[in-house]
C-alpha cells in the first residue's frame, strides 16, 4: 500500500522532469481502500492518545489520594 501510494507521485515527477516548468506535474490519487485504511489508522491513533491521557490522569489521581 505504501509503495503504491508513493510510486505514482514519484513516477509522474520523474517522467515530467525534463519538460518545461509549465508542463511538469505532480499526481496523487487515493482509492477507496486507501481512504478506509487511513481512516482506521487515524482512529486508532486517536484512541491511543485518549488512552495515554487517561493513564496520565489516573496516575495524578493516585498521587492525590
Pairwise CA distance, residues 43 & 36, whole Å: 11
State the pLDDT confidence band at 27, using cuts at 50, 70 and 90: confident
CB-based burial, 43-57: b 16+ in 10 Å, e otherwise? eeeeeeeeeeeeeee
What's this model's pTM, rounded to 2 decimal places? 0.57
Question: Cell 481502500 maps to which residue?
Answer: 33
Whose cell is 511538469? That residue is 24
Instruction: Give me the mean pLDDT over the 10-18 stretch.
Output: 86
Q: Among all chains, which residue has been given the C-alpha cell 482509492?
A: 31
Amino acid at each position: 500500500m505504501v509503495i503504491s501510494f508513493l510510486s505514482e507521485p514519484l513516477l509522474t515527477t520523474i517522467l515530467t522532469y525534463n519538460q518545461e516548468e509549465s508542463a511538469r506535474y505532480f499526481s496523487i490519487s487515493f482509492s477507496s481502500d486507501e481512504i478506509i485504511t487511513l481512516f482506521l489508522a487515524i482512529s486508532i491513533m486517536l484512541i491511543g492518545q485518549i488512552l495515554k491521557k487517561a493513564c496520565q490522569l489516573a496516575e495524578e489521581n493516585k498521587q492525590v489520594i
